[in-house]
Amino acid sequence: MKVVAFNGSARKDGNTAILIRHVLDVFESERIETELIQLSGEQIRGCMACGTCRKVKNMECKIVNDNVNLYIKKMYEADGIILGSPTYFSMMTSEMKALIDRAGFVARSNNDLFKRKVGAAVVAVRRAGGIPTFDAINHFFLINQMIIPGSSYWNVGIGLNKGDVEKDAEGIKTMEDLGKNMAWLLKKINT
Ligand SMILES: Cc1cc2nc3c(=O)[nH]c(=O)nc-3n(C[C@H](O)[C@H](O)[C@H](O)COP(=O)(O)O)c2cc1C
């Protein structure tokens, strides 16, 4: 089994990456393979609404000068998908939104590529706006007919500067509990 995780932060190895790694550590201890992809520094544009994916149905986006088609393939091949983002003005980052819009349209144009995979959102926030971000990512999973495990709180960790989330003990526990619940679910539905 494999889980692929995406960090939508503009800041590599920051709070979102730390939170995601706490979830992935649980998978590794449960012998579930993991991969973390950080979008920091990548130029990913949004959906052009060209409709090509709906016509061609080749599991790809027409825009080929970035990594989105590779990421769609990685999501398709994985059993679980984690989408992590810091909160930017009460929402996910532009990079994560671009990935969601394009992967989502391609998936829905190709018989729901992500149907019944397990999905989880991971959010970093300084103060407020984490819940709208968490909700928006979960909307992506839900419309793709994916299954979302819960945790002991909503999957949000608090911090401003790189590393601050490590001081948010409840946030870290939330990520560990998420990892345990997601690993349990993955094993149940893949036996
Ligand atoms: C452009 C921008 C907008 C932000 N907007 C918010 C916000 O709306 N609410 C908030 O609590 N923090 C906000 N922050 C703070 C980040 O969410 C916070 O520092 C987070 O821990 C960054 O995660 P990272 O280290 O993974 O990049 C913003 C940061 C940036 C750069």
Average pLDDT (64-89) is 98
Distance of CA 180 to the CA centre of its chain: 17
Nearest residue CA, atom 8 of ligand 1?
Answer: 89
Closest by CA to 154, choosing from 137, 179, 168, 175, is: 175
Q: Which two tokens stand for residue 159?
A: 């911090």
∠188-189-191 over CA atoms, to 5°?
Answer: 70
The pLDDT score that the predictor gives to residue 111 is 97
Give the distance (Å) from ligand 1 centre to CA of residue 137. 16
Q: In what order do the strands lie in the sheet with 80-86?
A: 33-38, 2-7, 80-86, 118-125, 156-158
With H, G, I as helix, E, B as strand and everything else as coil, classify residue 154. coil
Q: What is the pLDDT of residues 147-189, one digit of tens each?
A: 999 999 999 999 999 999 999 999 999 999 999 999 999 999 9
- Closest ligand 1 atom, CA of 14? 25
- Beta carbons of 126 and 87 less than 8 angstroms apart: yes
In terms of residues, how long is the chain?
191
Largest CA distance in the chain: 49
In this structure, which residue's CA is closest to atom 29 in ligand 1?
Answer: 88
Q: d(Cα 22, Cα 175) in Å, to the nearest integer?
A: 6
Q: Whose CA is nearest to atom 1 of ligand 1?
A: 88
- Distance in Å, CA 146 to ligand 1 centroid: 27
Question: Ligand 1, atom 3: nearest CA belongs to which residue?
Answer: 88
Binning the chain into helix, strand and coil, the percentages to the nearest 5 are 45, 15, 40
Beta carbon of 12 within 6 Å of any ligand 1 atom:
no
Tell me the pLDDT tens digit for each residue of 3-39: 999 999 999 999 999 999 999 999 999 999 999 999 9
Q: Which atom of ligand 1 is nearest to the CA of 157?
A: 21
Q: How much is the average pLDDT of 115-130?
A: 98
Phi, psi of 81 (to 5 degrees): -130, 125
